Structure 1
Amino acid sequence: MSFETWIAFVAASAVLLVIPGPTILLVVSYALGRGWKVAAPVATGVALGDLTAMTLSMLGVGALLASSAALFTAVKWVGAGYLIFLGVKLWRAGSRLDVTARTEAVRPGRMLAHAWLVTVLNPKSIVFFVAFLPQFLDPTLPFWPQMAIFEATFVTLAFANAFGYAILASRARRLASSPRAIRLVNRAGGTALIAAGTAAVTLRAA
């Protein structure tokens, strides 16, 4: 894997992780109600959930790559289209986070498990990884080393993102509910998804 490919993966992952979804809503709800102390357990749960979903996705992608190069290429084309679709959907999304502060007493271990469960059971997670990851895989290189690098990178970014959201939500509650801020995040994420899908199609067509 080239350094340029890894940097592109880091940049795309970082932008996409910022997009509010079910996991981020859970993180924000705990932080709004319980403060910054929830950051570590919920961020750990999110990271473990992403690790689980990403591993399942990568195993499926690896099986496709091993069975048929043509099928793998077809999945990359479908994946690129799916990224563009998600980008357009984000652009048309609402500008407010529908989240309620959680004030009930919950142990750190339970918060971690809750965050893991919400992340790993989100059906969009595995579908997204199947669409997203093949865009950065090189079929001519060994699969497992690439998988290890991508997973380690994404899980680290996922933890940092969830931790950051928890800290910001606990200290800047107005920002967490600001329609303008959420609209900017959605449009930035939508633009990134459309660009990623378009670039994937363009590079394969060139």
Structure 2
Amino acid sequence: MEISMTFGNAAALFGAMFVLATIPGPSVFTVVARTIASGFSHGLTTVLGIVVGDLIFIILAVLGLWSFSEMMSGLFVLIKYCGSAYLIWLGIELWRSKSQSVKIHKVAESSWLSNFLCGLLITLGDPKAILFYLSFLPAFLDLSSVSILDTGIIMVIAAIAVGGAKLGYAYMSDKSRLLLTSPRTKKGMNVTAGSVMIGTGVFLVTKT
């Protein structure tokens, strides 16, 4: 099985994806908010959801399934609104949560599944992402001659680059929250995280 992607192209693709993934946006804000609210493991699960969403769009782009995604545009719009509503709901729950003097590592306001779906819905809620990959990937290789192995390499590169960048935000957010353990401070952190999630949800639902 032939490989179209060279080491140089792979390195360039990784670098470009990593840099783009570090740019603050809805996904970054959500990772930070979920980590501050519930801890690193929950931030990690949110990152996994984001990465899975990106991988789905990469597969659609590599296989030339833009026509399929157009047929499913109604579903993507529904996912967008559901994801936005979910983020806003989580933000309101954080606003309403009562702070207690508890050890920070025991705080877990939401489940891992909840955070995974949060990350996944954010990514799938932006169907224009597939257009990005359709225009972005050809700069590094010819999509018409991409093999299964090439596709696998692209997915690994995306998972490491995107996941690594988002994990950096989760790690820094977790370190900052470990320094702030008083009930009053925790309440402020919840309000901040909740505001970020509500703002992200509103941004997604109003984004054209």
| TM-score interval for Structure 1 and Structure 2 normalised by the shorter chain | 0.5 to 0.7
Structure 1: how far apart are the matches of 2:60 and 2:100? 38
Which residue is 2:191 aligned to? 183
Structure 1: how far apart are the matches of 2:194 and 2:187? 13
Structure 1: how far apart are the matches of 2:196 and 2:50? 23
Q: Does 1:128 align with 2:118?
A: yes
Give the superposition deviation at 1:124: 2.2
User: How many pairs are equivalent?
Assistant: 166
Structure 2: how far apart are the matches of 1:54 and 1:76? 15
CA contact (8 A) 1:12 1:192 kept: yes
Q: Does 1:154 align with 2:166?
A: yes
CA contact (8 A) 1:51 1:155 kept: yes
Larger Rg: 2
The alignment partner of 1:177 has SS state of helix
Which residue is 1:12 aligned to? 26
Alignment of 1:79-118 (within 5 A): 79-90=79-90, 92-93=92-93, 94-97=95-98, 101-102=102-103
Give the one of 169, 175, 178 matched to 1:163: 175
Gaps of 5+ in 1: 28-42, 104-110
Which residue is 1:69 aligned to? 69
Give the superposition deviation at 1:8: 8.6
One-letter code of the match for 1:84? Answer: S
**CA shift digits 1:39-89 (9 cap, x unpaired):** xxxx4x556545544444444444455453325644542332123213442
* TM-score, scaled to structure 2: 0.56
Structure 2: how far apart are the matches of 1:162 and 1:84? 24
* Root mean square deviation, CA, Å: 4.1
Which residue is 2:184 aligned to? 174
Q: Using a 3 Å threshold, how does the CA distance of structure 1 residues 73 and 7 change in structure 2: closer, same or farther?
A: same
The alignment partner of 2:170 has SS state of helix
Identity of aligned residues (%): 8
Gaps of 5+ in 2: 1-12, 138-153
One-letter code of the match for 2:118? Answer: F
* TM-score, scaled to structure 1: 0.57
CA contact (8 A) 2:58 2:133 kept: no
One-letter code of the match for 2:201? Answer: L
